[in-house]
């Protein structure tokens, strides 16, 4: 999530820096301003209702984006503290460790499964004691990595916290997608509106005593 967040703000900074020289071109102001702040291009063109709608939608999405981002951090802290208190998991373990804590009631239960598979493969089908020892050392939890849930109820409560954390991450990504979508819609809308504002309609004579209607758009 942090990587996605940083990429988003990096894109915003790049767009802002690239947009500064374009602001000197009057006919580029509207889509560029819409890219930076949805609805602003429409407001500059005098379409207040459309502009206010897009701007309001962006403010709501921004609030939801930051709210869900804080919720992610809150739920992450909650499940880490909960696992430490009720399963003996040291605070701040890697993400994959907390996933294993969610999937198995204890490290010994997980280790027994790994041991059974390793015995079948390395000691029964392919007699290789050294590979068996290496596999067990690399794929089991020992020492500070061990855990054991006090009860099934506490384990289920931990799963519920983890689900809330995952839901917050999904909602945060949805908000980010809506922020980008709103900008695309505003850029397209303000571009169309600005072309309408700057178009020229004129007639040109034809050789057969007719006339042709022209519509010219200046950029």
- Ranges 10-14, 45-49, 176-180, 214-218: which has the least confidence: 214-218
Flag the least confident range among 14-23, 57-66, 130-139, 140-149.
Answer: 14-23
Question: Which pLDDT belongs to residue 62?
Answer: 93
Does residue 32 have a pLDDT over 90? no
Rounded distance, CA 72 to CA 96, Å? 17
Whether 188 has a pLDDT exceeding 60, the answer reads yes
Task: Say which range, 11-15, 153-157, 215-219, has the weakest mean pLDDT.
Answer: 215-219
pLDDT tens digits along 76-91? 999 999 999 999 999 9
Out of 126-140, 153-167, 183-197, least confident range: 183-197
| Residue 214, beta-bridge partner list | 202
Mean pLDDT for 13-36 is 64
Token code pair at residue 6: 């940083």
> Pseudo-torsion of CA 4, 5, 11, 17, nearest 10°?
-160
**Cβ count near 77 (within 10 Å):** 13
Q: What are phi and psi of 81, to 5 degrees?
A: -70, -40
Residue 205, H or E segment: strand 199-205
Record the tokens describing residue 20, joined without a space: 């500064």
Mean pLDDT (whole number) for 104-128: 92
Q: How confident is the model at residue 214 (pLDDT cuts 50, 70, 90)?
A: very low
Instruction: Place 147 in a pLDDT band, splitting at 50, 70 and 90.
Output: very high
Angle at 154 between CA 146 and CA 115, to 5 degrees: 35
What distances in angstroms separate CA 95 from CA 74, 100, 101, 142, 193, one per listed residue?
A: 15, 9, 10, 17, 48
Cβ atoms of 66 and 198 within 8 Å: the answer is: no
Whole-angstrom distance, CA of residue 156 vs CA of residue 149? 10
Q: 126 pLDDT band (50/70/90 cuts)?
A: confident
**Of 114 and 26, the one with more pLDDT:** 114
Query: How far apart are the C-alpha atoms of 216 and 45, rounded to whole Å?
Result: 19
pLDDT of residue 33: 85
Q: Report the C-alpha gap between 29 and 41 in whole angstroms.
A: 7
């Amino acid at each position: 999530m942090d990587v996605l967040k940083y990429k988003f703000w990096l894109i915003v900074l790049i767009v802002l820096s690239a947009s500064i020289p374009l602001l000197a071109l009057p006919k580029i102001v509207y889509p560029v301003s819409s890219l930076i702040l949805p609805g602003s291009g429409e407001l500059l063109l005098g379409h207040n209702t459309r502009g206010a709608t897009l701007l309001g939608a962006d403010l709501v999405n921004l609030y939801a984006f930051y709210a869900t981002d804080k919720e992610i951090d809150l739920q992450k802290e909650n499940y880490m503290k909960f696992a430490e208190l009720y399963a003996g998991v040291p605070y701040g373990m890697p993400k994959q460790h907390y996933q294993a804590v969610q999937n198995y009631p204890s490290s010994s239960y997980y280790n027994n499964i790994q041991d059974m598979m390793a015995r079948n493969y390395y000691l029964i089908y392919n007699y290789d004691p050294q590979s068996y020892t290496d596999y067990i050392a690399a794929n089991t939890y020992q020492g500070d990595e061990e855990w054991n849930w006090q009860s099934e109820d506490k384990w289920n409560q931990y799963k519920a916290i983890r689900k809330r954390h995952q839901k917050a991450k999904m909602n945060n990504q949805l908000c980010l997608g809506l922020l980008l979508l709103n900008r695309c819609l505003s850029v397209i809308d303000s571009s169309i509106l600005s072309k309408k504002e700057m178009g020229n309609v004129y007639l040109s004579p034809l050789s057969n005593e007719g006339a042709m209607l022209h519509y010219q758009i200046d950029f």
